[in-house]
Amino acid sequence: MEKTVQLYEGKAKKVFATEDPALCIVSYKDDATAFNGLKKGTIAGKGVVNNRMSNLMMQLLEKSGVPTHFVEELSDRDTLVKKVAIVPLEVIIRNVSAGSFAKHYGVEEGIVFDEPTIEFSYKNDELGDPLLNSYHALALKLATKEEIETIKKYAFKVNEVLSEYFKTLGIRLVDFKLEFGRLPDGSIVLADEISPDTCRLWDIKTNEKLDKDRFRRDMGGVEDAYKEVFKRLMGE
Ligand code: ADP
Ligand code: UDP
């Protein structure tokens, strides 16, 4: 399948149309942003890591009963996916306190929760992706009640499957963001990406951060962290 016209260029990926109107090609860039685009940079090799990791995760999730947009990996950076209408919600699951949770509630990072949490934000760059609850999402007609129930069910399933999987790689899945979309038949599938850009991944033994926080917080070793995740995913 070949790219035809570019439909969209986002902060981390480009999206292209194909000859098949039901499919599009996502192309992963090395560009990195944080704080709603205020901080910009590049992370050499990131696109390759994020493409491969997302595709492995999506395939694992399909096997575990979570439908996804994944169709076929085309190259290092390009993947064929089912074109969806994105539900404008960022769905965040947390297992351990970190980032905005630690900041909002005035607690340290690293508190392991008894149960995972779920939260939504409205995917809207102009508004800075404000936090909302499912009633707000319904009021704004961002999704139906049934869709929100499906999204919650899938998001917790993703957490179960990926937490177990990352444990086998010596990685703790601290938190992550998911996006879902609607297929033409109205069904909900997991879309976008699952990568060190969208997950917090800590080494189980040392708590070393192996994710985009190294970029957000100017910690150094950003490329090496992405490479380390890639190596473990590849079983090296
Ligand atoms: P952003 O838009 O936040 O800058 P990206 O650079 O990752 O993010 O751009 C990719 C865009 O493609 C996102 O807006 C995402 O919601 C959208 N997207 C992801 N998967 C699909 C899909 N299967 N079909 C259509 N759009 C998708
Ligand atoms: N996240 C994301 N995109 C966003 C916001 C958050 O992928 O626009 C991910 C982030 O990488 C982390 C999780 O969602 O794994 C929770 O992020 P948090 O709310 O703590 O916000 P942050 O501290 O990253 O601003």
Q: Which domains does the chain have, with CATH numbers?
A: 6-82 (3.30.200.20), 85-224 (3.30.470.20)
Q: Name every residue whose Cβ is closer than 8 Å to that of residue 74 and which is 6 or more positions away in sequence.
A: 1, 25, 80
DSSP structure class, residue 84: -
Q: What percent of the chain shows pLDDT beyond 70?
A: 100
Distance CA 153, CA 98 (A): 23
How much is the average pLDDT of 12-32?
98
pLDDT for 36 equals 85
Is the model's pLDDT at 236 over the cut of 90? Answer: no
Q: Name every residue whose Cβ is closer than 8 Å to that of residue 135 and which is 6 or more positions away in sequence.
A: none
Q: Indicate whether residue 211 lines ligand 1 (CB < 6 A).
A: no
pLDDT for 3 equals 96
CA distances from 57 to 29, 43, 45, 50, 61 (A): 19, 21, 19, 10, 6
Q: Hey, which of 11, 38, 100, 127 would you mutate to test ligand 2's pocket, going by the most ligand atoms within 8 Å of its Cβ?
A: 100
Distance 2 CA to ligand 2 centre (A): 32
pTM of model > 0.95: yes
Q: Which atom of ligand 1 sits closest to the CA of residue 189?
A: 23
Q: Indicate whether residue 177 lines ligand 2 (CB < 6 A).
A: yes
Q: Indicate whether residue 89 lines ligand 1 (CB < 6 A).
A: no
